[in-house]
């Protein structure tokens, strides 16, 4: 038990570090070749925080552990809203602007509905997985097109500020950081998956539970760091947009890649328990956004409520697993 646990801890630490190295190297390389700051923010930084989930789920699917692959994706979505947004709101309340209510949240809710529809028959087929990837690519293309039309929005200004504050590094160093970050990301993910599978086998529990808990929380650490930093700066749109973007990426690309590698029968609990909780948490953001307050926000009390939901969900998993 000691070696698998050590593999998980070291794997998570190196995973988060290598993901940051990969994103920094990719952003510097893109800037060197003239990519607009807005695209760097949307394509590289925006979804770069979800690289750990994607690599871990892909490796888990390749190694024949679909429970970790799906548990990591849906568990990360639950962690993002209940734990990360909850903790961020307790530290600094998050204002929900009307644009997020009109555009981003309805898209995330619709994609969640697609996930429910696909898993209703208990099977994630290769066709289902490819459909998720195609939807993501179309959505990404539309988002980039919309962003390029509105070059003066707050997110573009934020990216300009962040990129201008970073030191210019030679392109060779940027490429080295990008490539080495990706290689280390893959290696650390293999350690993490091996440790998670070993612990699941020794404790006699399913890969799904490990994926929903230890792996999901660990791979969500980049979102936690970036959301807290953005909220403390008063950039609530970026803090909340980071979570919504990550959940879209997890539901579409992470599940899509894992399913295209290894089509699979899914446990009934994924639909009746995990996706149900994920859907309710997504809908709760609408409730915060159209609440009784004049200023729509996730207050500190709302953050505590979200943290309570996460504690209750995790406790239920633990109790029902070892009962």
49 phi and psi angles, rounded to 5 deg: -70, -15
Nearest to 97 by CA among 222, 244, 232, 226: 244
Nearest to 70 by CA among 195, 255, 305, 298: 255
How many angstroms separate the CA atoms of 318 and 298, rounded?
28
Average pLDDT over every residue of 199-220: 84
Number of C-alpha atoms within 13 angstroms, CB side, residue 101? 14
- Rounded to the nearest 10 degrees, the angle between the axes of helix 51-62 and helix 236-249 is 10
Q: Are the C-beta atoms of residues 54 and 248 closer than 8 Å to each other? A: no
pLDDT at 323 over 60: yes
How sure is the predictor about 38, in pLDDT bands with cuts at 50, 70 and 90?
A: low
Which has the higher per-residue pLDDT, 48 or 173? 173
Strand pairing category for 264-265 and 123-124 = antiparallel
Q: Are the C-beta atoms of residues 188 and 15 closer than 8 Å to each other? A: yes
pLDDT at 314 over 70: yes
| CA 248 to chain CA mean position, Å | 8
Question: What pLDDT is attached to residue 113?
Answer: 93
How many angstroms separate the CA atoms of 221 and 109, rounded?
23
> What burial class does residue 18 get, using C-beta atoms within 10 Å of its C-beta: 0-12 exposed, 13-18 middle, 19+ buried?
buried
123 phi and psi angles, rounded to 5 deg: -135, 135
Question: What pLDDT is attached to residue 226?
Answer: 73
Whole-prediction pTM:
0.84
How many angstroms separate the CA atoms of 158 and 144, rounded?
16
Average pLDDT over every residue of 282-291: 82
pLDDT at 234 over 80: no
Cα–Cα distances in angstroms (integers) from residue 262 to residues 69, 120, 133, 292, in the given order: 10, 18, 14, 46
**Helix, strand, coil content of the chain in percent (nearest 5):** 85, 0, 15
pLDDT in tens, 183-194: 888 888 888 888
How many angstroms separate the CA atoms of 12 and 26, rounded?
21
Q: Beta partners for 94?
A: 298
E strands, the chain, in order? 94-95, 123-124, 264-265, 297-298
pLDDT in tens, 256-277: 999 999 888 888 889 899 999 9
pLDDT in tens, 60-94: 888 888 788 899 999 999 999 999 999 988 988 88
How sure is the predictor about 42, in pLDDT bands with cuts at 50, 70 and 90?
A: low
How sure is the predictor about 4, in pLDDT bands with cuts at 50, 70 and 90?
A: confident
- Class of the CATH domain delimited by 2-322: mainly alpha
Q: Beta partners for 124?
A: 264
Neighbours of 142 (CB within 10 A): 11
């Amino acid at each position: 038990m000691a070696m698998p646990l050590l593999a998980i801890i070291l794997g998570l630490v190196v995973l988060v570090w290598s993901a940051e190295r990969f994103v920094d190297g990719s952003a510097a390389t893109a800037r060197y070749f003239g990519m607009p700051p807005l695209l760097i923010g949307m394509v590289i930084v925006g979804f770069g925080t979800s690289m750990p989930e994607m690599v871990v789920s892909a490796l888990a699917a390749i190694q024949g552990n679909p429970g970790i692959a799906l548990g990591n994706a849906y568990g990360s979505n639950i962690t993002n809203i209940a734990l990360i947004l909850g903790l961020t709101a307790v530290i600094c309340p998050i204002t929900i602007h009307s644009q997020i209510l009109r555009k981003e949240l309805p898209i995330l809710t619709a994609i969640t509905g697609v996930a429910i529809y696909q898993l209703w028959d208990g099977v994630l087929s290769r066709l289902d997985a490819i459909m998720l990837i195609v939807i993501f690519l179309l959505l990404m293309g539309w988002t980039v097109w919309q962003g390029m039309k509105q070059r003066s929005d707050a997110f573009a200004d934020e990216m300009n500020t962040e990129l201008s504050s970073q030191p210019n590094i030679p392109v060779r160093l940027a490429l080295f950081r990008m490539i080495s970050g990706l290689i280390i990301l893959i290696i650390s993910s293999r350690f993490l998956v091996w440790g998670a599978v070993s612990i699941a086998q020794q404790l006699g529990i399913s890969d799904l539970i490990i994926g929903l808990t230890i792996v999901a929380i660990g791979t969500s650490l980049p979102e936690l760091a970036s959301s807290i930093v953005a909220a403390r700066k008063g950039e609530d749109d970026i803090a909340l947009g980071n979570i919504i973007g990550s959940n879209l990426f997890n539901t579409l690309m992470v599940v899509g890649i894992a399913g295209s590698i290894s089509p699979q029968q899914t446990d009934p609990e994924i639909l009746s328990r995990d996706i149900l909780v994920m859907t309710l948490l997504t809908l709760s953001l609408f409730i915060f956004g159209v609440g009784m307050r004049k200023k729509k926000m996730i207050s500190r009390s709302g953050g505590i409520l979200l943290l309570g939901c996460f504690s209750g969900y995790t406790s239920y998993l633990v109790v029902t697993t070892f009962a």
